[in-house]
A = this chain, B = another copy of it.
């Protein structure tokens, strides 16, 4: 599934922008990235419980794509029951300024969305310091 985001690059101005956007534009990717920024390392079901409305298939899906794109790392422990830990790669952590800029803009223009809450929550990712 997916993988289309690699395919077209006429390389007009804005091409690398588009490329970067395509990596985070999955329906749940931002949320996943955000959690991983905040909590460093999470197991599959920990993520699932945090997101709640996501289906198992979609979580697997988004995680696989993020992994393929080199944004997150997947560590499998050969145990039973299985244990799989997800964390950001260096490349993933470098998205922080983007996520921050997006959040800043989103919070500033939250009125656009007929929205209410959320804007409040301050960003406190443990790893934001190192970027």
Contact = CB atoms under 8 A, between A and B. Distances in A.
Interface of A: 6, 9-25, 27, 30-31, 33-35, 38, 50-53, 69-70, 91, 94-95, 97-99, 101-110, 112-119, 121
B11 A35 contact: no
11 contacts: A10-B52, A13-B118, A14-B103, A15-B31, A17-B30, A19-B112, A20-B103, A21-B30, A70-B109, A97-B101, A97-B105
Nearest to A18: B30
Contacts of A12: 31, 50-52, 118
Interface centre among A70, A114, A115, A118 (most CB of B within 10 A): A118
